[in-house]
Every structure is written in C-alpha cells, then in structure tokens.
Amino acid sequence: MRDDIIKVEKLDLFYSEFQALHNINLTIPENKITAFIGPSGCGKSTFLKTLNRMNDLVEGCSITGGVLYRGNDIYREEDVFTLRKNIGMVFQKPNPFPMSIFDNIAYGPRVHGIASKNVLHEIVEKCLRDVALWEEVKDRLHKPALSLSGGQQQRLCIGRVLAVESEVILFDEPTSALDPVSTSKIEDLLDKLKKKYTIIIVTHNMQQAARISDRTAFFLHGRIEEYDDTEKIFLNPENKTTEEYISGRFG
Amino acid sequence: MKNSNKLKQTTDRIILFFIYLSAFATALILVSIIGYITYRGLYRESRINKEILESRNIEYEFDNEKYIFLVNKTLKRNSLNITELDQILEKGIKNWSSVSETRAKIKIISLFRKEKEINRTYDIRNISTAEEMIKIFKSEPGTIGIIPLSARGKINLKNLKILYLDKNCVAAGYKVTEIINNSRLAVLSEKDLVKITNGEVSNWKEVKGHDIPLEMLSTADQVAKSSGGFAVVDYRKAVESGVSIIPVSYVRKGANFTPGFLFDKPAKAGKAGGISTIIINTLFMIVLTLLFSVPVGVGAAVYLTEYAAAGKVLKIIRLGIETLAGIPSIIFGLFGFIFFVDILNMGIGLLSGSLTVAMMIIPVIIRTSEEALRSVPLSYREGSLALGAGLWYTIRKIVLPAAKPGILSGVILSIGRALGETAALVFTMGFDYRLANGIKSSARVLSVHLYQLVREGISFERAFATAFVLMCFIFIINTATIALVSGKTKYGEKQ
C-alpha cells in the first residue's frame, strides 16, 4: 500500500536467551493513529522501541527480521541519529530536561545544528502553539521546565519532538502518569497532530485506544493476536482472546 | 506474658539510653575538640622561664653615668636583657631579626657625648643635635639612640620609645638548688617571687623548695656564701660570683591570633612572623592538585557509568578504585617519592606533591562523581537520545550539567582531604616555607607547617594558631558543600 510509512516483516526480538517478540508482521498507515494494546509484559512497549532503535540501549537485545521505514531497513542503516529525528518518541513519564522551557524545545534543533537565535525562537513558538502550551508559558519561557505541572510537562515533551520535525511520533503510554483533565488535553492534541504526523501509541487504557485510534493491534505473549481497524477490533473482533481481553475478562 | 512485655520495654529503654549516650558523647567530644583548638588558637596563656627578670629598668649604667636607650616605636620589642644588649654593643648581633620579629639593621648612635668611654669602648657614632638624631631614626628604622638620663627631657619622643633593660636575676644559696630525693627547685613562679620580696616567706619549702630557712641578703657574694640565701642581684655580678641562679616563670596572656599572623611571612623556622606564604603555597597545591585530579576523576566516572559494559574488567577497575581510596596516605607519599621525585626526576616540590595528592583524591572524586552521574534519571538520557542526539552530546549537555552539584560537592570534599594531607607531602613537597617560585620549588603547606611546629617543638602557640586557620578553611569548605548540595541547581529540582 502506498500509504504505509512503516512496514515490519518477520520480526523476532530476543533479550539474551528470552524471546520477547515472535514473528511480528504489520504495516503502519501514514497520518493515522495506530494503537497497541495488550496486557503488561506482552511486548507492546518493546515493539514500539524497535521502531526507532531505542532498544539499542538495552544490553543483550538482538533482533532478526526487518523494520522498513519508507522502504529502507532501519537496522541496516548506519545513521541512527537521523532515524530518531524522523521517528520521535514521547515517554510514559514526562521527562523534560533540567533546563528552561525554551532550551527544552530548542534542544533538538540545536542537536541537529540550528544555532540562529531567531530561527530557534520561531521554532519554539510554533511548537509550543502546536501543543497548545504557548499561551500558558509565553511569559516564562526561561523558567525551569520542571516547574510546570505534569500535564504541561508532557505537552512540552511532545513539543520537543515536534521541534525536530519528526514524521512519526511514538507514544509510550503518554497519559498513564497524568490526571484525567491533562489526559483529555493530550488526547485532543493527538487528534490534531495526526493531520501532519503519523502517530503510534501504546496504551493500557482501552477506552483511550477506542477513542483516538484508527487502527489497533492487540498484543499477547509477544505475538500480534489481531490487527485491524479500531472499530472492528472493539465491536467485532475476530479473535476470541481479543474479545475476552477487551471485555475485561483478563489482563 | 505481662512480664515478658515489661522486659521488652526495659531492654528498649536501656538500648535507647545507650544510643542517646553515644550520640551526645560524640557531639560533646567534637564540640570540645573544636572549642579547645579555637580557644588555644585565639588566646595564648603560656609560661616562659627567664633567668633575667623582667625588672623594667630604663637606665644603663656605665662608668658611673646613667644612660637610656631610644628605639623606633614600630620595633616589636619593648625590652632587651643585659646579655642581648652586650651582644648588640659588641656587634655580635647586627640585625633586630636575631632578637625580635622586626627585620632591620642595628645602628647605634649617641647624643650629648663627647669622647666619653662608652663611645670609645663600643665604637658608637656621635651625633651632636637632637634634630639629626630624629633624622637618622627616620632613615634607619633599626637605630638605637643612647642618651644620658639627664638629657631625657631634651628629646621629642613622638615616634620613639624608651627601651627597657632587664638586668637582674634571682640568686639563691647553694643548698636551695641541690637535688634532694630526685627533686629540686628548678623555677620560681612570678607570684612566689613577689611573696619572697614582700618578706612573707621564711622557708624555701613555702615556695616548693627544700626545707631550708630563707635568708634575705643583698649582694651576690653574700648569697654565694650562704646555704639558704636569697637576693635579687645584677645578672653579670651573679655570673661572676658563681652563685646559683633560679629562673622565674612568667605567664604570658593575650591574643594568640592577630591579623599579622595571616599576612606576615614566616621567619625563624616559624618561631616568628606569620603564615602568609604558607597559605599561598597551600592554595597553589590545591589548584595544581585539582588541575590533575578533576579531569581524570570525572572522566573516569563518566567512562564507568556511561560507557563501560558490565564485565570482569569493570569489576577489577572498581575494586582498584575502592582499594586506592582506603590506602593510607603515607603509602602514597612513599610511592610519590619513588615515582615522581626519583624515577621521573621531578624533585621534591609543588609538582611532585600535587601529583601525589591528586593520586590520593582521584578515587574519592571518581566515587562521588559516579554517584552523582548515576543519580541523573535515565529518562533524561532517553529523552535526549530519542531526539537524535549522540551519547557524548547527551552526556555533555544533559548528564554532566544535571550531575554538577553532586560532582562539585565531591570535589570540594576532596579539597578538604587535600588540605589536611601531611604524610604524603612530607616526602614529596618538602618544608620550604618561602613562597614557591616555580612548579618544582619545594613548598610548605599548612598541615606540614603544623606538623613541623609541633615535631620540632618550635612553638605550640603558633601550632594552635595554624590549626585554627586550617580548621576555618575546612569549615568554609564544608559550608560551601552544604550550600551547593542543598541549594537548587539553576533549572533542576532540589538535589
């Protein structure tokens, strides 16, 4: 399909001896929200990390198979830095750097060689507007980012990814540490962002997956049990275990 | 059941009591040590034994004529004793530095004297007018002016003072200082001397002597013939007659620590002057040590926490660091002496000493820096790497700044360790208390100075003053550490 931005083929992943992912095959459509659901330890977060090679940091982690990003196998490419620029990531716990709000957003562009103050300022303003944080922080851009609330911090972290002009953004349970109001703000934000970005989100919250995603993959024991349009997964799953999980019978 | 509960309660109470006791005892011991050093550092109450009494005469008699001696007010000496004065007049002592803390050439002039004996005997320059004399005092600060007592009123004493002359001593009969039953009267206290001269003492045992009646006499010759005689006589006459002389102990009270102690150069092996050059040498040593140890220590810590893969090599490195941190400093001193001084031929000096101390504190810096680096949340690193930054960029821009307070506090604590280091420096940096004039020049630091003052019995007062300065330095350093650790970093949370 022409719209597929990421294609995963026969992916197996091992932590030393332990096989965490078994024969994963799936495609991620562009400018859509894809959700990964499943019980704890099913491998959904692990799989997310393979998409921008953050699993490189885990000792003893090895993979076989291929992850194609726009047709290129990311594990054959040498340039992991450009890959991570193109496929950004937002983590479970907000992790702003211990610097000012401005420097947090400007960090990524600076990494990739932008030094001009004016350009940085434009980027910061645009990104903060995109994550609906500009009005709240425009008067204290040079205050510590850690002084923001948890929800604001998480939006800042999203803005930080937008600043490097990623095409795909991976979200690893981005709202699990947040209160309901902040959560709904983030969800609204994701919905807006999908016009420009491809979004992949791992979530424990099935209502969240149902609310915001277009496609949903159900993971179990390191395998994809079912992967389909969200509506179909939630209303009419083909697989019996999927139905049992969604209806809350285990997990 | 009830009984066992009661027993438990009692045991708890006893244990609690011991815990309180140990806590308070430790606090008490520390406070008293610090208090004692501060007290002795600031305040002096020492005894000195003098054969020649502080009689504070002003005249000097020569050929039946009386003279007084004038000196500049700035001279750090108010009195001279008769033997010192003889040596000065006979040109055995040519500079004030031999008898005081002032460094100035001694020049003797006399006024209103014409071809009189004192000038001929001692070769003293004659001055004819008071104005000329004042002029010489201005140009030569070490001048001693001798004028007849009768001319005292004719000189303007504005910037001058009259030098006191001490010339008397206590003479005692031959039995008084004899050794009986392994004890003898070696020294008289000032109080006892006053008691004797006031006629309140009739037996030597009242002033801690033997059981001999005390006989008040007036000349040295009389005393020499007596068994329990006592007289205050001219020191030179006492020496001539061969009578026993009993020293008198004087109690000196007053400030031990003066600004001069911080700002003056040391002199006479540390007996005189201050510790200014030693403080500066100490700073040199600290700066050099940090220059060597901080890059290596922090670099090693970064390698160990951020780059090194867990394995046997890492374990061995860790073990090495732990061991190094526990090795006594004298062993580092020995190593420094063999390796830096001898094999690398750096000589005993700042360079060898600083390198040795650096070796000693590197393990401390590595351990504290590692701790600080490890306390930087993994999420910072992940966040940076996920934006496409390299590992080194991440370490430089995120990890090191976040770990800075912790690293700094480790560095500052190790400065404290370097400040107190003595054993490692004795072999490698030497004892020269002059200002170091190069990286290879021998230099004495505060702790080594303290060690020398006590070891060679030079001056306990100065040792305590030095200890006080050293303690103040450590106190300042510790306060800075606490401020750094508890204070907020610029953009971070409270550490």
Q: Which of A:109-168 have CB within 8 Å of B?
A: 111-112, 144-146, 157, 160-161, 164
Q: Does A222 touch chain B (CB under 8 A)?
A: no
- Would the CB atoms of B383 and A164 count as touching at under 8 Å? no
At A150, which amino acid appears?
Answer: G
- Would the CB atoms of B387 and A111 count as touching at under 8 Å? yes
The residues of B whose Cβ lies within 8 A of any Cβ of A are 309-310, 377, 379-380, 382-390, 393, 397-398, 401-402, 489-493
- Measured CA to CA in angstroms, residue B3 lies from B6, B7, B8, B9 at distances of 5, 6, 9, 10
- Quick: pLDDT tens for A145-199: 998 988 899 989 999 999 988 889 999 988 888 888 888 888 988 888 888 899 9
Pairing, β B65-72 against β B160-162: antiparallel
Q: Give the position of tokens 């450009």.
A: A82
B490 interaction partners in chain A (CB closer than 8 Å): 144
Q: How many angstroms separate the CA of residue A95 from the nearest CA in chain B?
A: 6
**What mean pLDDT is predicted for residues B24-44?**
94
Q: Which positions ≥6 away from A15 have C-beta within 8 Å?
A: A58, A60, A61
- Asked whether the beta carbons of B472 and B464 are under 8 A apart, the reply is no
DSSP H or E segment with residue B160 = strand B160-162
In this complex, which of A59, A84, A97 lies closest to B385 when CB atoms are compared?
A84
Q: What is the reported pLDDT for B487?
A: 60
Q: How many angstroms separate the CA of residue B44 from the nearest CA in chain A?
A: 53
- Would the CB atoms of B382 and A91 count as touching at under 8 Å? yes
A157 interaction partners in chain B (CB closer than 8 Å): 383
**Range in A66-75, B408-417, B435-444 the model is least confident about:** A66-75
Q: Does A224 touch chain B (CB under 8 A)?
A: no
C-alpha to C-alpha distance for B37 and B53, rounded to whole angstroms: 31
At B481, which amino acid appears?
Answer: T
User: SS3 helix, strand, coil % of chain B, rounded to 5?
Assistant: 55, 15, 30
Q: What is the reported pLDDT for A57?
A: 81
Q: What is the reported pLDDT for B118?
A: 62
**Range in A35-44, B124-133, B472-481 the model is least confident about:** B124-133
b vs e for B269-305, b when ≥16 Cβ sit within 10 Å of the residue's Cβ? Answer: ebebbbbbbbbebbebbbebbbebbbeebbebbbebb
ipTM at complex level: 0.89
- Would the CB atoms of B386 and A100 count as touching at under 8 Å? no
Phi first, then psi: give them for residue B227, nearest 5 degrees. Answer: -95, -40
C-alpha to C-alpha distance for B362 and A183, rounded to whole angstroms: 48
- Would the CB atoms of B388 and A95 count as touching at under 8 Å? no
Q: Give the position of tokens 């944080």.
A: A133
- Quick: pLDDT tens for A76-91: 877 888 889 889 999 9
Q: How many angstroms separate the CA of residue A123 from the nearest CA in chain B?
A: 15
Nearest chain A residue to B398, by CA: A97
- Would the CB atoms of A164 and B386 count as touching at under 8 Å? no
- Quick: pLDDT tens for B239-286: 888 888 889 988 888 888 888 888 888 888 888 888 899 999 999 999
| CA dihedral angle for residue A120, residue A121, residue A126, residue A130, rounded to 10 degrees | 90
- Quick: pLDDT tens for B113-159: 555 556 566 777 777 787 888 888 888 888 888 888 887 777 777 78
Q: How many angstroms separate the CA of residue A96 from the nearest CA in chain B?
A: 7
C-alpha to C-alpha distance for A128 and A105, rounded to whole angstroms: 8
In this complex, which of A82, A95, A146 lies closest to B388 when CB atoms are compared?
A82
At B384, which amino acid appears?
Answer: S
C-alpha to C-alpha distance for B482 and B495, rounded to whole angstroms: 11
Pairing, β B79-81 against β B164-166: parallel
In this complex, which of A54, A103, A144 lies closest to B386 when CB atoms are compared?
A54
- Would the CB atoms of B387 and A84 count as touching at under 8 Å? yes
- Asked whether the beta carbons of B466 and B477 are under 8 A apart, the reply is no
- Quick: pLDDT tens for B200-238: 888 888 888 888 888 888 888 888 888 888 888 888 888
In this complex, which of A81, A83, A98 lies closest to B402 when CB atoms are compared?
A98
- Quick: pLDDT tens for A204-220: 888 888 888 999 999 88
B311 interaction partners in chain A (CB closer than 8 Å): none
- Would the CB atoms of B385 and A157 count as touching at under 8 Å? no
- Would the CB atoms of B491 and A164 count as touching at under 8 Å? no
Which alpha helices (DSSP H) does B43-164 contain, by range? 82-89, 117-122, 130-139
